[in-house]
Structure formats: structure tokens, C-alpha cells
Amino acid sequence: MTYYENHFRQRGLTQYTLDGEINTNQWNASAVRILFLLKENYGYQEYEVIKLQEYAHRWLADNNKTYVKISTLAAAIQIGLQRHSPLSQDELNGISQNRDLLHSTLDKIAVVNIKKHSGESTSDNAEIRIESGLNSSLLKTQITELSPTIIVAGGTVCWHSLIYDIGLYAASDCQKFETVICNGTVLCNSYHPAARKKVQFDIDRLHRAILSAHKVISPK
């Protein structure tokens, strides 16, 4: 029994999401490892174990807003780091339409949900914060083993979980679209990728902030 399974057995839960890296080999081979800390997934209450590695590409192919947005941001960060400069809005628009690039980028990222059992339609932030406490040891183990170089927290409750509950980063608070460097890891406070207003998950602002922070820890 894995630590993951044991954690939920102790909580008395039989339905949960098995999340983390999308493609283990690609993640381990990546020098830049981008982890998205999100709230939960929806609509799988009747399933027992949801394996993210089996569903992520399907969700992207189905134009799931969250997975399109996080893949686009991750691709922009990776390209920007390779060429040592941010991308233009036209280039970002091009990335969002390049399905082959988005799928290949998805294989290089990780997604960790705070609440591991499926929600219904909209998240209750108070419930997510409770789950953050209940799952804090699991989340800490997950993130430690994944060893990301960049973490994007998708929403205020995710940011507070990251810096207050999980216990890995003694980071100071910051505003949306800002970053903190802690233990050599870039932490970014973001809105959720599926935020209803387009300006909230602003890929241009986010990738520029992350690129600027990354220069501090890796100037060459």
C-alpha cells in the first residue's frame, strides 16, 4: 500500500484523485518542473480512484479550460526561459492554438489538488481549506517528492494552503501575479485557471513575473 492509499484509508475515503506528474519520465527529465496547486476536480463522485495520468490529455483534448490554460502558461514559461525573454501576446495566442505543443507541454508538468475527492460544480473555499489541513502531510510528501522548481497556486485558498498549511515554504504573503522565492523554488500567487474573467488568469502577466523571478535564482 502506498502512502497515498494509506492516507485515505486512515481518513475512511475510498474515492479520491491520484494526481501529481502527468508523465513521470518527462517530469524527471525536465530541468524546469512546473507544478500547479489547484483546488479539486469535478464530476467524478461515482468513481473510486481517478488517475490524473489517464485523464489529463483527455481533458485537454476536450478543451477543458483549466488544462488549456495551465498548458499554455507552462509552454510560455519554458519557451521564455529557453530564449531568455518573455513572449509577445501574438506568440501566446499562437501557443494556445497549438495542440501538439500543449499536449507535449502537459507531459512535463504536475498538478496537485488540495481536495482529493471529487467536487460537484463549484468549489467551497472553506471546505478546501479544511481539506488542506486534513491532507497537509500528504501534500507535503507529494510536493517534496516531486521537487518542483516553480509552483503556481491557482487561487487565494491554494496560495494560503501552500504558504501556511503544507509546511514546506516559510514564504511571505504577496499579491496576485507576484512571486516569492523560497528554498530555491519560485512560488507564484495566481487566480484559478478557470476563473470566469479572462483577465484573472492573465498568462502574459504570470509568465513575465515567473521569468523575472527565475532570473534571480538562475541568472545565466
**Span 72-112, pLDDT tens digits:** 999 999 999 999 999 999 999 999 999 999 999 999 999 99
Q: What is the CATH number of the domain that holds 118?
A: 3.40.470.10
Cβ(139)–Cβ(175) below 8 Å = no
User: C-alpha grid cell for residue 55?
Assistant: 485523464
**Span 134-150, pLDDT tens digits:** 999 999 999 999 999 99
Cβ(19)–Cβ(111) below 8 Å = yes
Q: What is the pTM of this model?
A: 0.94
* Structural domain range at position 179: 3-217
Give the sheet arrangement for strand 34-38, strand by strand.
20-21, 109-113, 34-38, 150-154, 185-190, 178-182
Burial class of residue 66 (count of CB atoms within 10 Å of its CB; 0-12, 13-18, 19+): buried
How many domains does the chain divide into?
1
Closest by CA position to 70, among listed 94, 100, 41, 38? 38
What's the average model confidence in pLDDT over 41-48?
64
Q: Which has the minimum average pLDDT: 19-28, 37-46, 51-60, 157-166?
A: 37-46
d(CA 39, CA 191): 11
User: C-alpha grid cell for residue 132?
Assistant: 488542506
